[in-house]
Structure 1
Amino acid sequence: MATAAPRGGLLGRVKPLDAILATAEKKSLHRTLGAFQLTMLGIGAVIGTGIFVLTSEAAQKAGPAMMISFVIAGFVCAVAALCYSELASMVPVSGSAYTYTYAVMGEVLAWMVGWALILEYAVGASAVAVGWSGYFVGLLKSWGVIVPEALAVGPSGGGLINLPAVVISLLITGLLILGTKESARFTSALVLVKVVALTAFIILTLPVLNGSHFTPFIPNGWGTYGVVGAAASIFFAYVGFDAVSTAAEETVNPQRNVPIGLIGSLLFCTVFYLLVAAGAIGALGADPVRNAAGAVLAPGSAELTQQCQSIVASGATEPLVCSREALAHVLRSIGYQRLGDLMGVAAFIALPSVVLMMMFGQTRIFFVMARDGLLPERLAAVHPKYKTPHVVTAFTGIVVTLAAAFLPVGQLADYSNSGTLFAFAMVALAVFVLRRQDPSRHRPFRTPAVAIISPLAIIGCIGLYLNLPFIAKMVLVVWGAAGLLVYFGYSRSRSHVGRGILDVPEADSDAPPQPVPPMPGAPTPGYRDA
């Protein structure tokens, strides 16, 4: 096993890259994936929750110009993905952006990235659970079963608690503790359900497209509650593209096929999203709802909920921006009642798997951080019977459930995006830094024109972050400040790397960590259990 002393990074301790790569060599995978397989993998990973649940949020911010928002978000994802791919091909082990940052820029930034990924995965899972709840409640209503408003939405929507979102979050937490995993065949079937449902939506809505619904095209300008702000929210619809990046180790000729898979899948998904958005806008319109003074109302706000209720009470058709099940609502509004129900059924079937995958991703990040000593090692405990990290899974489930119970989907998606954008910006920076620090290291995939792509990714992520709503930006700031308090108050003194203990995950996860030479000024390390 390779060992190396932790070196000083951009902001301190760096986890030895050679040791991490030693793990990858032990578990190296057979290269079988070509450009087509990677493209299909990316399409399956990307198409999902965002387009089902955030269409109404985007319409409230950007109106018909949400079509431009999809293009902006897709472009930022593409340049970030190219940076992601280089590190994923070099460091093909668990931990995602957290591990990459640890290996390049040091423990402090790695901690901040891992801390931010909690927003991406846990809060993102809450957003999906709330989105699922909207379709589930709408489906029951269409069948004559009314869920009381007090139990169907959180306080901002005029209710008390989103009970369906709570139930689905708890059920999935239980499944993860029991060790239930999705098979590849089951996952592929769910992807097919989503693609067929959205294709049917396009086929049914485009023929009834009304050109007048596209004017004014940019009703709210380009700011936070305009086109770029909608792009910052819609970014959630593209999360998952990193599945292509992390498959670089299994790709034939990754330098050629990874960019094709990434750009091809993102291009396909962007066009697909544009067609869905065009169908929704053309069939029902996407005029933002305003208050009496003509000011656009914030998505998810109590004021918007009240205004929407007034519109419906007047006998008018519920606007697209008011619906909690946007695509099913569009189909029902143009006369396809039962097909609208089928859209609800598709969301009912497919979206819980997304909650499961996001919660699994969160527990994996927690698990790796705990194994590095940065979080209490009790979190990395494995259940003696089910062989799952039950403590961290239960903790994650509680966080997801509480957020889903009381917050609206748009706010949750924005909070999730703030963490994701920070993590992706750090990955893009890490690629640039490592090119200068270690230019001769073998890279199965090299980001093309890195001096252009990396800054574009960083600028794009920062630009979208700055156009999130103020509270979403502050969530990342406050959450990050809390994370630094935890790091300096607890994690820094217990870090394995800081204490000179090298813990190689994955293949050697059951073996005691090996000692490495200490950093200057660090105490002499000894052996201890991971």
Structure 2
Amino acid sequence: MPRTGLRLKSPDLLVAESGADLEGHGLKRTLGPFQLVCFGIGAIVGTGIFVGLSDTVAEAGPAVLISFILAALTCVFTAFSFAELGGAIPVSGSSYSYTYASLGERAAFLVGWCLLLEYGVSVSAVAIGWGQYLNELLDNTVGWRIPAALAQAPGHGGVVNVPAVVVMLLAAVLLVRGVRESARATAVMAVIKVGILVLFCAIALTAYDAGNLTPFAPEGIGGIGAGASLAFFSFIGFDAISTAGEEVKNPRKNIPLAILVTIGCVALLYCLVSVAAIGAMPWEQVGGKPAALSLIVDRATGSGIGSTVIALGAVVAIASVVLAVMYGQTRILLSMSRDGLVPRVFERVSPKTSTPVANTWIVAVVFAVPAAVVPLDVVLDMTVIGTLAVMAVVNICVPALRRSHPGLQRRFRVPLYPVAPLLGVAFSLYLMCGLPLVTWVQFAVFLAVGALLYALYGRPRSRLARDAEAGPAEAATSSVR
């Protein structure tokens, strides 16, 4: 360990530890490239497009297309960085591990802390949106809705969001059964929801009216920027692919491939959906409406059959996001636990299912609380700012790691280096600037709490520091214990 105070962890050590049997049982490599792409689509396509589209339209108007393109560009540049880092360091820690290897332990802990927003808090946000479409589906099929008191957060006409809690607990049950079973379920749900969105485009385009696209940018550049910040939420989750690094066959090849294919497919799909939605209905009637896609299909077809299909697709889509994102959060905590930065309970893997069972249930229960009682808009903004901060750091990790480990095996290299990672940082900061001041204040407090936790808990218990003090021989033994 270099004596710079950064406590850098070498990529070779990270990879070696990921293959070690720290608790007597390890994760198994069962995921192929198709399953990995489906996992990526499963982690991305959900609340952001089915529920959040209307909020993006309310900010940007017909220029919502530009907002989605800006958000996609941010993800493309960052996806290049994730692809290079994921192929070079194929471990479960994702951006946390990449930061540990390039910027040091303190920065890594804060990235892991921010990942609680990207994965943990975002799974709460996704679960909140599930209830909206579940009610739409129930209303269309059986003529009954879950009472508002049991389907909304306090302050929004409800007492507790029961559907949000239920979908999180169901996802936990599936995750603890095994990654193979979870991957199969995610693949099926990914195919269903992509098919539903393609069907939406086909239906909405039958009612397309070019007049609905004028004026194109009624809220100006500011509206496009604010819309892009919200549209970015629709792309959150593609980096969850890299959290599967220890459960993927041939990870150095398949992780970069899956990340790039997933982002390309999702970006194209979102642009088609946004154009079809605005073309079918004036933006003023779409903006701010819950279950907007169902509303558009109802208007286009003149019946409730289409909206029932859309609602079914949304229920499946959002459930798959909960599953995939919760998976990502448990694997981040597993990596941090291995390093001694969070309690050891998070690293224990079941000998029967080869999954971190206790870790999964803790995540499900803890993040079911905000899902049950916090409004969606509050959760969404914090998720976005935390994710953008992590993405900015990941783009910085690429040049840092190239400088410190130029000989590291890289199956994929960022094109247009160093311009691409710098643009990734710039786009991330631009979208962060579109968020309200109160979100920045909340984020600053969140980071301060994280820094305090690292100083009081993580730094004193760091296994890297302990092994360095113990000496090379004992450190080598500890790394495979």
- TM-score band by shorter chain is 0.7 to 0.9
Distance 1:185 1:59, change over 3 A: same
The alpha carbon displacement at 1:183 in A equals: 4.9
Amino acid across the alignment from 1:106? G
Output the amino acid matched with 2:411: P
CA–CA separation in structure 2 for the residues paired with 1:434 and 1:396: 31
> How far, CA to CA, are the matches of 1:126 and 1:59 in structure 2?
23
1:88-107 equivalences under 5 Å are 88-107=86-105
Match of 1:137 in 2: 135
Closer, same or farther: CA 69–136 of 1 in aligned 2, 3 Å: same
User: Structure 2 CA distance, aligned partners of 1:38 and 1:151?
Assistant: 35
User: Are 1:85 and 1:246, in contact at CA under 8 Å, matched by a contact in 2?
Assistant: no
Aligned partners of 1:217 and 1:177: how far apart in 2? 48
1:472 aligns with: 439
Q: Is the 8 A contact 1:54 1:410 kept in 2?
A: no
- 1-structure distance, mates of 2:17, 2:378: 39
Matched residue, 1:332: 298
Indicate conservation of the 8 Å contact 1:8/1:14, yes or no. no
CA separation of 1:394 and 1:31: change in aligned 2, threshold 3 A: closer
Give the Å deviation of 1:413. Answer: 2.6
Aligned counterparts of 1:180 and 1:260: Cα–Cα separation in 2: 20
CA displacement at 1:40 relative to structure 2: 7.5
- Does structure 2 retain, via aligned residues, the 8 Å contact 1:500–1:517? no
Stretch moving more, 333-342 or 179-188: 179-188
**Stretch of structure 1 that moved more, 357-366 or 443-452:** 443-452
Structure 1: 5+ residue stretches without partners: 1-5, 288-318, 503-513, 519-523
Alignment of 1:219-368 (within 5 A): 219-223=218-222, 226-242=223-239, 265-287=262-284, 319-334=285-300, 335-368=302-335
CA distance in 2, matches of 1:418, 1:368: 23
CA distance in 2, matches of 1:184, 1:484: 35
Kept after mapping to 2: 8 A contact 1:515/1:526: no
Work out the CA distance in 2 between the residues paired with 1:376 and 1:189. 35
Larger CA deviation: 170-179 vs 370-379: 170-179
Find the residue that maps to 2:463 and give its secondary structure.
coil
Q: Partners in 2 of 1:278 and 1:104 — Cα distance?
A: 41
Matching of residue 516 in structure 1 with residue 478 in structure 2? no
* 1:433-492 Cα deviation digits (max 9, x unpaired): 122223333322221222211111111111111212333333322211111111001110
Cα offset, 1:41, TM superposition: 7.3
Aligned length: 471
Q: How is 1:41-56 mapped onto 2 (pairs within 5 angstroms)?
A: 46-56=44-54
1:46 and 1:517, CA in 2 relative to 1: closer, same or farther beyond 3 A?
A: same
Aligned to 1:521: none
Give 1:167's aligned residue: 166
Structure 1 residues 77, 145: closer, same or farther in 2, change over 3 A? Answer: same
CA contact (8 A) 1:208 1:283 kept: yes
Q: 1:120 is matched by which residue type in structure 2? A: E
TM (norm. structure 2) is 0.87
1:64-103 pair list within 5 angstroms: 64-103=62-101
After superposition, the Cα gap between the structure-2 partners of 1:321 and 1:442, relative to the gap in structure 1 and judged at 3 Å, is: same
- Evaluate the alpha carbon distance shift between residue 93 and residue 38 of structure 1 in structure 2; reply closer, same or farther with a 3 A threshold: closer
Q: How far did residue 32 of structure 1 move?
A: 8.7
Q: Give 1:71 deviation, angstroms.
A: 0.2
2:341 maps to 1:374? yes
Query: 1:452 and 1:407, CA in 2 relative to 1: closer, same or farther beyond 3 A?
Result: same
Match of 1:431 among 393, 398, 415: 398
Query: Letter of the aligned partner of 1:17 in structure 2?
Result: P
Give the aligned residue type for 2:391. F
Aligned: 1:457 with 2:424: yes
Mapped to 1, the partners of 2:310 and 2:428 lie a distance apart of 32
Q: 2:28 and 2:421 mapped to 1: Cα distance?
A: 27
Task: Measure the CA separation in 1 of the matches of 2:273 and 2:288.
Answer: 17
Q: 2:381 aligns with which of 408, 414, 433?
A: 414
Q: CA deviation at 1:369?
A: 0.9
RMSD across aligned positions (CA): 3.4
Structure having the larger proportion of residues in helix: 2
3-state SS in 2 of match to 1:123? helix
Q: What is the one-letter code of the residue matched to 2:356? A: P
SS at match of 1:336: coil
CA contact (8 A) 2:225 2:434 kept: yes
Deviation at 1:380, TM superposition (A): 3.0
Q: CA deviation at 1:371?
A: 1.7
Q: Partners in 1 of 2:249 and 2:12 — Cα distance?
A: 20
2:23 — aligned with what? none
Q: Secondary structure at the match of 1:356?
A: helix
- The one of the two structures with greater contact order (alpha-carbon pairs below 8 A, sep at least 6) is 2
Larger-Rg structure: 1
Identity %: 37
> Does the C-alpha gap of structure 1 residues 486 and 346 become closer, same or farther in structure 2, counting only changes over 3 Å?
same
Q: CA deviation at 1:323?
A: 2.7
Say which is worse superposed, 430-439 or 451-460, in terms of deviation: 430-439
